[in-house]
Amino acid sequence: MSPRAPLERRKNRPLREVLDDLIAHARDTARRSKEMTPAELDYAQQRLEWLADEVWRLAAGGGGDAG
């Protein structure tokens, strides 16, 4: 790990929070996927895609609200 990594985490808190949400949602979906209804799976996929888009936007330097 580079010496800059902890600094980056402190500087880009919104990115860190969205990444944490993405990881938690992916883990929860993987754990529960066999028990989920098709509607729940569809929603979980949509949310994963939205979170991934948010990570990309924040990592690319976009700030503020996505809309």
User: Could you tell me if residue 11 is inside a domain?
Assistant: yes
Give the number of domains in the chain: 1
Q: Which residue has the higher pLDDT, 10 or 59?
A: 59
Could you tell me if residue 35 is inside a domain? yes
Is residue 66 included in any domain, yes or no? Answer: no
pLDDT score recorded for residue 12: 85
Q: Is residue 65 part of a domain?
A: no
Residue 52 lies in a domain: yes
pLDDT in tens, 3-36: 555 555 567 899 999 999 999 999 999 999 999 9
pLDDT score at 37: 97
The C-alpha torsion from 15 through 18 and 19 to 21, rounded to 10°, is 160
Q: Within 1-67, where are the H helices?
A: 5-11, 13-32, 38-59
Q: Tokens 């994963």 correspond to what residue?
A: 48
- The structure's pTM equals 0.74
> Which domain range does residue 45 map to?
5-59
Domain assignment present for 64: no
